[in-house]
Structure 1
């Protein structure tokens, strides 16, 4: 049996001691799970899902806590402190995550957040992080189709829009003129693939192209108004960011949907919102 440092592992409890439980680490020997992380009613023979990392003394140790990033993943983390060797990021564990100076694009500052990639340093066998995330993104051409739903992490602002990390593997771009809400580095959200270009670059969008067809969004809007009891406080004069926060569509798409429902006599336009035409709410 081999264990994976910096990831979750399914390990068997083999010994109970006053200060915790020892787990079977195979070739690595027994691994301590300190008392503070031992589940209630845990006993020898149980199989636990634990995260493995190195403690302050560089000893292999287990925890049932979930870190903010695992080895092989990207995340946006805050700098807890710095010293003459590098920066240390808060990743939700007792021991902070180290970023050597050589892995920083600019000198990291306490209290600020940075997008990093976690990996195992081959020389020291330590879990470390790098802010030079480009080198860890896949260079292969993605096999996405237009309209595919993906998970993204907002990475950095550019002149064209926002770069995002797609499915913890690829780089993509959201264009400014297609963004209708406030985005910030570190945000996680769903997005849709607009296209994969011939050169492999991926264009993203935050709303599915299908909503550009008025009928599609009209149905969504009508169902939402019904779910809200027949009235909503949004109308075609509402700010674009408020519309986007609720529906994930542009104000233009929203206004087209409102117009479609109004022409079909399904809604009534009010100064303070929209009301179903057949609703008792007026």
Structure 2
């Protein structure tokens, strides 16, 4: 295994000196420096250690800190400084990441946070960041099935809903009528494919579809009932906004869930109230 810049690596201690430790991969190729202040107590030669590898002044350097994001990831990162070559964002390791001006969409402002993709610049072989996400996210998806579970990152808000990055690779859309809880840029969630369109676009939903989703919501409602002395002042005639505020779901999904609980004999139903059967 070769040493991977911008990634967590399992490396072996080759030498310990006054200034720090020198690490290599399992084949003995390449060398990475770990500063003395980063060395864990009792570190010894030939010991394996997990580190993040980055470049500092042209040299490969290691840290035992875990970064917010690694090469190939998308993450919400805060701008800490701006100079003549670009903006620098906090990676959570004490080493900032450069986002060149030509990779900023929009132009970065100090102290604000932006969704950034970490990539390896081919010319300089330097780990960099970009908010020009269309360079790294594919417009047309293939191989997805309806109701398939996927991972998403919230990338932006539009008039239709929220643009999301699906499985770290494809664009998707969560339409406004499918949003039943607060979403924010950079948020990572598990979601489900609602539809794969003929043009390759992905429609995404946050809730689990069908019976499985209703059963999951039923469990949430039942747990809430046990916490609220067996009574919740919501029913199938309640205001959809009140239902959304309480359970982050649509009124239709709420009605299916409480209907499931009623059929199981766990609750009694009224127009604007459900009661736990004891």
TM over 0.5: yes
Find the counterpart in structure 1 of residue 74 from structure 2.
74
Superposed CA RMSD: 2.8
Q: Give the Cα–Cα distance (whole angstroms) in 1 for the partners of residues 277 and 197 of structure 2.
A: 45
List aligned pairs for 1:57-136, cutoff 5 A. 57-136=57-136
Find the counterpart in structure 2 of residue 146 from structure 1.
146
Contact 1:88 1:97 in 2 (8 A): yes
List aligned pairs for 1:1-282, cutoff 5 A. 2-24=2-24, 29-55=30-56, 57-138=57-138, 141-211=141-211, 216=215, 219-221=218-220, 224=223, 228=227, 231=230, 233=232, 235-236=234-235, 237=238, 238-244=242-248, 249-262=249-262, 265-268=265-268, 274-278=274-278
Contact 1:160 1:176 in 2 (8 A): yes
Contact 1:225 1:275 in 2 (8 A): no
Contact 1:105 1:131 in 2 (8 A): yes
State the TM-score, normalizing by the size of structure 2: 0.86
Q: Give the Cα–Cα distance (whole angstroms) in 2 for the partners of residues 187 and 132 of structure 1.
A: 18
State the TM-score, normalizing by the size of structure 1: 0.85
What secondary structure is seen at the aligned counterpart in 2 of 1:77?
A: strand
Q: Give the Cα–Cα distance (whole angstroms) in 1 for the partners of residues 55 and 102 of structure 2.
A: 21
Q: Give the Cα–Cα distance (whole angstroms) in 2 for the partners of residues 142 and 77 of structure 1.
A: 30
Q: Give the Cα–Cα distance (whole angstroms) in 1 for the partners of residues 217 and 156 of structure 2.
A: 34
Q: Give the Cα–Cα distance (whole angstroms) in 2 for the partners of residues 60 and 266 of structure 1.
A: 61
Flag structure 2 segments of 5+ consecutive residues without an equivalent: none
Tell me by how many angstroms 1:40 deviates.
3.0
235-244 or 255-264: bigger deviation: 255-264
Tell me by how many angstroms 1:239 deviates.
4.2
Tell me by how many angstroms 1:140 deviates.
5.7
C-alpha change, 1:133 and 1:80, in structure 2 (3 Å) is same
Flag structure 1 segments of 5+ consecutive residues without an equivalent: none
Q: Give the Cα–Cα distance (whole angstroms) in 2 for the partners of residues 122 and 68 of structure 1.
A: 23
Tell me by how many angstroms 1:205 deviates.
0.1
What secondary structure is seen at the aligned counterpart in 1 of 2:79?
A: strand
Q: For this pair of structures, how many residues does the alignment match?
A: 272
